[in-house]
Structure 1
């Protein structure tokens, strides 16, 4: 997984914006103003993605490249390695899952505006 692919993919999702609110190296992707993915621009070693708590535990048990979210709520976030230990197809699926979890948490009016 390369940062260019990941960035392009995230920005292709409806209503997604990007910013660096913490420092110049920490890139955040948001939907409706809420973060669904965080990564380091310089190293791109991993991405923090939101995840359903039950599935998060399963994923961590099945994949050595998926661990509790670094600097995040360990119940709701995973850190997913970009070293190839997590297949790209699963990486994209986890990105979509994070995006839709955050999208579903937004007010219905905001969801409708994004889904236009």
Structure 2
């Protein structure tokens, strides 16, 4: 990946995060206990994208703000957004999106599971 080469390390630095490669999607997924929060892959033309879960209103705001952010490619368009890696979205915005996505997934776990993840 050319532009956001820090994404792998950044995602894996999150508590409880790991990654796998989904062959049939040709995509690397970042997960917490099997729940995906970021995916690196491509669109139907093979253009590299990062797909990230966001709060729906923040996602709409980002899509209005940046032409290189679209509704989640092949995902629930309400909750997921895809960022074109070759586009002009600043690193800080992508980091903010990743942080939000991680928190949305993390907070979907029970308090007990959250405590276990933090202590892993």
TM above 0.5, yes or no, is yes
Query: Aligned equivalents of 1:44 and 1:112: distance in 2?
Result: 38
When the two structures are aligned, how many residues end up with a matched partner? 115
Query: Aligned equivalents of 1:33 and 1:3: distance in 2?
Result: 24
Q: Which residue in the other structure is 1:47 paired with?
A: 50
Give structure 1 stretches of 5+ with no counterpart: none
Q: How does 1:2-81 map to 2 (within 5 A)?
A: 2=3, 4-23=5-24, 25-40=26-41, 45-81=48-84
Residues 36/44 of structure 1: CA separation in 2 closer, same or farther (3 Å cut)? farther
Query: Aligned equivalents of 2:14 and 2:41: distance in 1?
Result: 20
Task: Kindly indicate whether the alpha-carbon contact (under 8 Å) linking 2:62 and 2:69 is maintained by their aligned counterparts in 1.
Answer: yes
TM-score normalised by structure 1 residue count: 0.89
SS of alignment partner, residue 103 of structure 1: helix
- Please tell me the root mean square deviation across aligned C-alpha atoms, in Å: 1.9
SS of alignment partner, residue 22 of structure 2: coil
Query: Aligned equivalents of 1:24 and 1:101: distance in 2?
Result: 23
Shift of 1:2: 3.7
Does 1:114 find its partner at 2:120? Answer: no
